[in-house]
Amino acid sequence: MDSAAAADRDLFPAPRSEVFRDQGKFRTRFNFPGRNLPDHDDHGYGPLSTVVESFMDPGTLIRMHQHRDEEIVSWVPAGVMRHDDREGNELVTDAEHLLVMNAGSGFWHAEETLANDPPLRMLQIFVRPHDLGLEPGIQHGPLPDPEPDEWRRVFAPAGSDHQFTVRNAVDCHDVRLDAGAGATLPDVEGRDAYVYVFEGSAEVGDAALSETESALWTGEGAPPTVTAGDEGATVVAFLVNPDAPVTRQGTIGR
């Protein structure tokens, strides 16, 4: 899609991020939602700071380290991510489970894959909280089973009637689309949408996106439909209030 046409429709596609860090058995690609907008002076978009695509080979240990003043969601569509922390939790996150670390004033954790685990590819989502020094904590548990071609709500703002929450105005949905199937973006008043194609290819409105490409929709008019390409697609959508008050002192998700 022509970028000028996208701008006219308040839809801003972006290619695969080139911000990639290779640490051998642990590799990360940093996606910055604010960079979809021309001349935007913030790498994040409101409370959604960064969406990190993370890869861990079998037998990888990321040693105990601290996060502060950020909400970190680990979404693992395939593979296994093993979490230990100084609170005594030993948690396994996979396609059926979600992990939300509300780092607040400080939370120490380690991540690991065992030698007999499959290769891990996941998203780690960094949300800016509305205040500094909040109470730290962790949420972990099963996700609802996904339904083909239907959006599943993954997490919601604190105070919502949802099992998994973050402390700012971001909702997250995912969808697994069959080839050629479509699903209209969820519509929440006052929210814009950052859409990330995790697997396959899809059109968001008139913007054709390949795997690991994204689009930012700035919320004017009816939300666009996401339509999968010939091989289907797994897509994640973040509904963001760009005017929400934010802090910007997180360990990673500044």
* The pair of three-digit structure tokens given for residue 179, joined into one six-digit string: 């080839």
Distance CA 240, CA 242 (A): 6
Instruction: Say which residues have a Cβ less than 8 Å from residue 27's Cβ, sequence separation at least 6.
Output: 20, 21, 54, 55
Say yes or no to pLDDT of 6 above 90.
no
Q: What pLDDT is recorded for position 9?
A: 66
pLDDT tens per residue across span 13-55: 999 999 999 999 999 999 999 999 999 999 999 999 999 999 9
SS3 of 184, please? strand
Q: Is residue 246 predicted with pLDDT exceeding 70?
A: yes
pLDDT band at 217 (very low <50, low <70, confident <90, very high): very high
Computed over every residue of the chain, the mean pLDDT equals 95
Q: Tokens 């008043």 label which residue?
A: 189
Top pLDDT among 58 and 8 is at: 58
Q: Which residues are within 8 A (CB) of 88 and not within 5 positions of it... i.e. 6 or more apart?
A: none
pLDDT digits (tens, 9 = 90+) for 136-163: 999 999 999 999 999 999 999 999 999 9
Query: CA 209 to CA 203: how far, in whole Å?
Result: 6
- Per-residue pLDDT, 136: 98
Beta bridge partners of 207: 204
Domain map of the chain by residue range? 11-240
In this predicted structure, what is the pLDDT of residue 169?
98
Query: In sequence order, what E strands does 128-222 have?
Result: 137-142, 152-157, 165-166, 170-177, 182-184, 192-204, 207-209, 214-217
For 11-240, the fitting CATH number among 2.60.120.10, 3.90.420.10, 3.40.50.880, 3.40.50.10210 is 2.60.120.10
Numbers of helices and strands, H then E, in the chain: 1, 20
